[in-house]
Chains A and B, each alone.
Chain A
Amino acid sequence: MKSLRRNDLVMLGIGIVIFAVLQVLITERIMSSFWQLNVIIIGINVIMAVSLNLINGYTGQFSLGHAGFMAAGAYISVVLTTFFHVPFALALIAGAAGAGFLGFLVGIPTLRLRGDYLAIATIGMSEIIRICIMNIDYVGGAAGFKGIPHNTTFAWVFFIMLFALFFIKNFVNSDGGRACLAIRENEVAAESMGVNTTKYKVMAFTIGAAFAGVAGGLFAHSFYLISPNSFTFMQSFNYLIMVVLGGLGSITGSIAGAFVVTFISAALASWPEFRMIIYALALILLMFYRPQGLFGYMEITDYGPFRKILKKGGRDDG
């Protein structure tokens, strides 16, 4: 346990150094506002990817409805900040709670399903959420919710992202996380070993949905306007792509996946005609080259130089 704590501190230190560097680049206006915005988007995508990874990668439940939970969190938080002038932090927490609760409600019945059946059921759920929002005129309906205060800053995104990373990492290394891993490896075996599979599946699903809700809140408060169009199943595919590209079951992988996907999209912005074609080819090639994703099950801390800095504990001896 001790080495775990120490590792957390080291990683936190590294995180703060990265934050400081980026913050200086932003305040000194060395980074253009386009790339500033994209750094924020990367942060939000990391939260989305890592929380989806908890469900798909660590618990092995094939969920394709993450955008739906993001939408729920986004709309709850913007209603609170825009109509009721609730402080941003509180609105984010409410968005997370709302999305988490929704995840809980959806999770109990649907998590009985397996594999592709679960996938289509979760797509269905997220589409139902989106269509319901589309039909509520109070939040602008299909045309979108206008006049959202611009509260999301780089610092908010970065520290919430760090929190999400540490929370999910520690959850995975906790008893609950072990149970989730057991479910992923073999659900029947896990159940016969006394793991309450429903409880842990729903738990992972709820936590994942709650973080998607926070990410939704951050997303909404960086764009002045959100519309249900931003949360279609295509968007859920995008998050799945990030997770798989990085490596299912790797937190480092989710960070890398979110970074690569957002980066490719932003860097190709000047060639709109070819952007999606190149993106598609990159996707196919990456899957040929590394079907298990960039990191597979590995974390960056499993690689040589990092092993020396961090005394490895946790994962391997579990």
Chain B
Amino acid sequence: MKFGSKSLKLMAAAVGVALMGSVFAGCGGSGSGSSDEIKVGANFELTGNVANYGSASMDGLKLAVKECNDAGGINGKKINLVSADNKSEASEAVNAATKLISDDSVKVIVGPAVTANVIAESQVATDNKVPVIAPDATSPDVTVENGTVKPFIFRSCFIDPQQGTVMAKFASENLKAKTAVIYVDNSTDYSKSLGKVFKEKFEAAGGKVLDQQAFVAKDTDFKATLTTLKAANADVIFVPAYYEEVGKIVKQARELGITCPILGTDGWDDPKVADIAGADALNNTYFSTHFSDKDDSVKGFIDAFNKEYGHAPNVFAALGYDAGKMLIDAITRAGSDDPEKIRQALEETKDLKVGTGTITIDKDHNPIKPAVILENKGGDRVMVAKIMPE
């Protein structure tokens, strides 16, 4: 096929004009915004390495917003969700946040999913006094920096120390484990800091961590490192990581003949883990998460999500939905779309019913909520413990 050079010139010109148009639209059309809508920005990983996590959270958020708009919006005002893609990269997260704030004049931003991207964004948001709700960033320094709370940054998930403590306690008390090995995802703050907390608490409880190994997100073959971990012959393996790798790790660990319990965290909470690893391999594994899908109070959310998207929500989607709920509640109580008032309202969030349960925001801008520990058993998940934060 050969295009004539004329038609190509035309095409190039058309693309150019379209692009220029978008710039001027971006420059001129913003700022004012009609008064019967509230502009909310969504800055997520929609392309790039962790697009699957970002877009899942985005789906959850969209559902919360849709439910709110279908019910007539907030005081008659509809929420207008403006999305921006940060390409799974920190500098692009800053770029996207800047666009949302300056060109789209959003009043509040939800996202990104990954800790590093939220931290990069938080500076821009703080400078421009726009509140941020991070659905999935569990590292403590997302909301607190050098001991002071960042006034504009909130989150809808619990923080690493809570989960790490819960799992270390579970390993030593319930499973009576004396020794453990830790296998972390070296490319995320999430995994590294959970590994650290687990080691600390497990050793404080008298256990011994025999070995710590690391992998990098998007790895597919874990057998080499698992062979090393197998040689350590520990009572449990702790794998604080995300579902894509977790599924493969559990599968390959069992293939290598590792039979001990494998423990994990909320990154495991996705039906895909069972699909990838297979129900048999997944027996004798435990993970902490935000809710049990058997819980009656979360049935409503799960059904609604299923109806909208045709599959069950994973943890990212659930937390994105929670972030949406927090946002809607705060705007309602603020009674206006003034970012400062929304910020105050977010701080005062109390006993709010969200998708995964009921939350109250503490003084560090973290939600207070219980962690549940689920056991994978014969293709099903059974709740074995529900632990409130200390």
Chain A residues within CB distance 8 Å of chain B: 31-35, 37-38, 41, 134-135, 141-144, 146-147, 150, 219, 222-227, 229-230, 263-264, 266-270, 272-273, 275-276, 278, 282, 285-286, 288-289
Q: Are A227 and B192 in contact (CB under 8 A)?
A: no
Pair A269/B89 contact, Cβ less than 8 Å: no
| Cα distance, A230 to B90, chains bound together (Å) | 7
With the chains together, A32 CA to B31 CA distance in Å?
10
Are A141 and B192 in contact, CB atoms less than 8 angstroms apart?
yes
A306-B372 Cα distance, complex, nearest whole Å: 71
Interface residues in B66-106 (C-beta closer than 8 Å to A): 82-85, 88-91, 94-96, 98-99, 101-103
In the docked arrangement, what's the CA distance between A31 and B98, Å?
12
In-complex Cβ contact of B101 among A31, A33, A229 (8 A) = A33
- Given the known interface contacts A273-B46, A275-B85, the answer about A264 and B119 at a Cβ–Cβ threshold of 8 Å is no
Of B23, B26, B123, the contact of A150 (CB 8 Å cutoff): B123
**Closest B residue by C-beta to A282:** B15
Contact for B99 among A227, A269, A275, CB less than 8 A: A269
17 contacts between A and B (CB under 8 A): A33-B101, A33-B102, A35-B23, A35-B103, A141-B192, A143-B139, A143-B187, A150-B123, A224-B120, A225-B123, A267-B26, A272-B47, A272-B83, A272-B85, A273-B46, A288-B3, A289-B5
Question: Which B45-74 residues have a C-beta within 8 angstroms of A?
Answer: 46-47, 49
B27 contacts partner chain A, Cβ-Cβ < 8 Å? yes
Q: Which residues of B contact A144 (CB under 8 A)?
A: 90, 116, 119-120
Q: For residue B46, which residues in chain A have a CB less than 8 angstroms away from its CB? A: 272-273
Is B224's beta carbon under 8 Å from chain A? Answer: no
Q: Contact check: which of B26, B49, B90 meets A225 at CB < 8 Å?
A: B90
Complex Cα gap A146–B11 (Å)? 44
Shortest beta-carbon contacts, A-B, top 6: A272-B85, A143-B189, A225-B120, A33-B102, A32-B102, A224-B123
Q: Which residues of B contact A278 (CB under 8 A)?
A: 15
Interface positions, chain B 101-138, Cβ under 8 Å from A, are: 101-103, 115-116, 119-120, 123-124, 128
Is B98 within 8 A of A142, CB to CB? Answer: no
- Does B186 count as interface, using CB distance less than 8 angstroms? yes
* Complexed CA–CA distance, A285 and B15 (Å): 11
Known A33-B101, A268-B19, A273-B46: A230·B8 in contact at CB below 8 Å: no
Q: Chain B, 1-40, contact with A by CB distance < 8 Å: what is the 0/1 string?
A: 0010100110110010001101100110010000000000
Cβ-defined contact, B89 with A32, below 8 A: no
Besides the known contacts A33-B98, A144-B116, A270-B84, 16 further A-B residue pairs in the complex with CB atoms under 8 A apart: A31-B27, A34-B102, A35-B102, A142-B187, A142-B216, A143-B116, A143-B187, A150-B123, A225-B120, A227-B90, A229-B116, A263-B19, A268-B19, A272-B83, A275-B47, A286-B12
How many pairs of A and B residues are in contact by the CB < 8 Å rule? 127
Q: How far is the CB of A215 from chain B (nearest CB, A)?
A: 13
B95 touches A38 (CB 8 A): yes
For residue B188, CB closer than 8 A to chain A, the reply is: yes
Q: Could you say which residues of chain B place their CB within 8 Å of the CB of A38?
A: 95
Least CB separation from A32: chain B residue: B102
CB-CB < 8 A to A273: which residues of B?
A: 46
Q: Known: A34-B99, A35-B27. Is A264-B188 also a contact (CB below 8 A)? A: no
Cβ < 8 Å to A, chain B residues 182-203: 186-189, 192
**Bound CA span A253–B95, Å:** 25
**Distance (whole angstroms) from the CB of B67 to the closest CB of chain A:** 22
Complex: chain B residue closest to A281, CB-CB: B15
Q: Could you tell me the dominant secondary structure of chain A's interface residues? A: helix
B340 at the interface (CB under 8 A from A): no
Q: How many interface residues does chain B have, given as a range? A: 35 or more
Q: How far is the CB of B1 from chain A (nearest CB, A)?
A: 10
Docked-complex contact B103 and A32, CB < 8 angstroms:
yes
Q: When chains A and B are docked, how far (Å) is the Cα of A37 from the Cα of B84?
A: 16
Q: Do the beta carbons of B186 and A134 come within 8 Å of each other?
A: yes
Q: Using Cβ atoms and an 8 Å threshold, which residues of chain B touch A266?
A: 95, 99
Per the bound structure, the CA–CA distance linking A108 and B124 in Å amounts to 42
Minimum Cβ distance to chain B for residue A171 (Å): 29
B218 → chain A closest CB, angstroms:
11
Q: Are B116 and A34 in contact (CB under 8 A)?
A: no
The listed residue with most B CB atoms (<10 A of its CB), out of A34, A147, A223, A230, is A34
Which residue, of A219, A272, A275, A286, has the highest number of chain B Cβ atoms within 10 A? A272
List chain A residues, Cβ under 8 A from B47.
272, 275-276
B102 in contact with A223 (CB, 8 Å) = no
Of B8, B85, B90, B98, the residue contacting A229 (CB under 8 A) is: B90
B141 adjacent to chain A (CB < 8 Å): yes
Q: Are B95 and A41 in contact (CB under 8 A)?
A: yes
Residue pair B85, A285 in contact (C-beta under 8 Å): no
Which of these, A37, A226, A267, A286, contacts B23 with CB under 8 Å?
A: A267
Q: What CA separation (Å) do A142 and B116 show in the bound complex?
A: 9
Chain A min CB distance to B138 (Å): 12
A272-B11 in contact given A142-B188, A144-B119, A225-B119 (Cβ < 8 Å): no
Q: Which of A224, A270, A285 contacts B26 (CB 8 A)?
A: A270
Partner of B22, one of A142, A150, A270: A270
**C-alpha gap A226/B325 in the complex (Å):** 31
Evaluate contact between A34 and B98: CB separation under 8 angstroms.
Answer: yes
Could you tell me the distance between the alpha carbons of A207 and B103 in the complex, rounded to whole angstroms? Answer: 38
